[in-house]
Amino acid sequence: MQKWQAIDGHLATPQGFRAAATAAGIKKAAGALDLAMVASESARTSAAGMFTTNLVVAAPVEVSRRHLEESHGRCRALVVNSGNANACTGHPGLRTAEETARATAKALSIEPRDVLVASTGVIGVPLKSELILKAIPGLARSLSAEDASPVARAIMTTDTFPKCCVLRSELKGHAIHLAGIAKGAGMIHPRMATMLCFITTDAAIGPRTLEQILRSAVEGSFNCLTVDGDTSTNDTVLALASGLSSAAVVPGDESRAWFQAGLDELCQTLARMIARDGEGAKKLVTVEVTGARTPSDADRIARAIANSPLVKTAIAGSDPNWGRILCAAGYSGAKFDPYKVDVYINALALCRKGLDAGFDEAAAKKELGQKELILRVELHEGPANARIWTCDFTRDYIDINASYRT
């Protein structure tokens, strides 16, 4: 088995998939791509999904959960719209999601339960079903395996660039591909924000195994990501496996660990892209906590720091205010001795044993001025570590979100 390598490609690079995108008129901007479809040629396509843990759940999440259960983890098509979340829209919103699945099924001659749906955009605004239903037949006719790059653009809202990653490897002489696209820039705080991710592969893998591998990959990637601490109503990560590569991923076999490594890499790459593209963000920040007593303590501290507006604004201003970092660790609920703690920006120590490390101010500002940086907190309490990706908070974040609906 070869290592996974990044290649140029798109969501339809894995065998058996076709995709298309169109401007259905959901977004206010004329001609803006806002509706996408992905379809599989294989009737035995496996599917797995991870969804928001928010108590308030969008209509498409309800429908996709139900369809995955009814189909026993099978799927032939995915339809996603941007510009409207179809959340907090009551029975009409649920009816729109169901009608979308039925219209797609009719256009592709498949069963409605084999269609998954997703939405992203403004919450609480009715989604005009007629716009989607009118566009679906033409969208289905335009499905192609040649270039699915427009799909990554069609799911964007406040994103500044499309997020796509494609990996290739070989298993027993057969080429296997993993492809993924994601969107998200604000309302990002998945505990499985608005965050969407869609993954395709031509590996032959059963629904149960795919779900287990996806769950593990999400836990180490999208669930280690925060932009603003808000968890969306629409979080969705869906993985589809056509099985057309003729190489099987078998539970208990080394192929399972190999495929897990590939999906981990894909999801982590997309998670970093989302953090880098946080609304108004200028810097990608990796928060690392080492030497905690327990994994839970490490995770609590890393999340508290990554979500702290004071820490994030200090990073935006290249201000080496390490006291804010230690303060966030202190209110996280984790147990540690403050006078054992060391704090670093990249390799530069700002704090040693809970006290100022006597660092050079100019050197610290230079480190904080980089577009990608590591904020490391060493607790010296135990063996547990944690890592969270986040970004800085700038004035642009306020500007974007103060007028999001308009």
Q: If you average pLDDT over every residue of the chain, what do you get?
A: 92
3-class secondary structure, 18: strand
At 1 the pLDDT is: 72
Q: Integer distance in angstroms from the first to the last C-alpha of the chain?
A: 51
At 56 the pLDDT is: 87
Q: Spell out the residues 6+ positions from residue 358 whose beta carbon is closer than 8 angstroms to its own.
A: none
**Least confident piece of the model among 58-72, 174-188, 325-339:** 174-188
Burial of 253 (0-12, 13-18, 19+ CB in 10 A): exposed
Active-site annotation holder among 96, 194, 269, 390:
194
Strand order in the sheet with 17-22: 17-22, 35-40, 77-84, 115-122
At 190 the pLDDT is: 43
At 188 the pLDDT is: 42
At 187 the pLDDT is: 45
Of residues 7 and 160, more confidence is placed in: 7
Is 324 in contact with 310 (CB distance < 8 Å)?
Answer: yes
Q: What are the chain's domains?
A: 5-275 (3.60.70.12), 284-402 (3.10.20.340)
Nearest to 132 by CA among 155, 106, 110, 103: 103
Radius of gyration of the chain (CA): 22
Q: What is the pLDDT of residues 109-138, one digit of tens each?
A: 999 999 999 999 889 999 999 999 999 999
Give the single-character DSSP code of 404.
T
The answer on pLDDT for 158 being more than 60 is: yes
**For range 255-277, the mean pLDDT:** 93
- Angle subtended at Cα 109 by Cα 242 and Cα 247, rounded to the nearest 5 degrees: 10
Q: Is 194 a catalytic residue?
A: yes
Q: What is the pLDDT of residues 186-225, one digit of tens each?
A: 444 444 345 799 999 999 999 999 999 999 999 999 888 8
pTM: 0.88
- What is d(CA 376, CA 26) in angstroms, rounded to the nearest whole number? 43
The answer on pLDDT for 150 being more than 70 is: yes
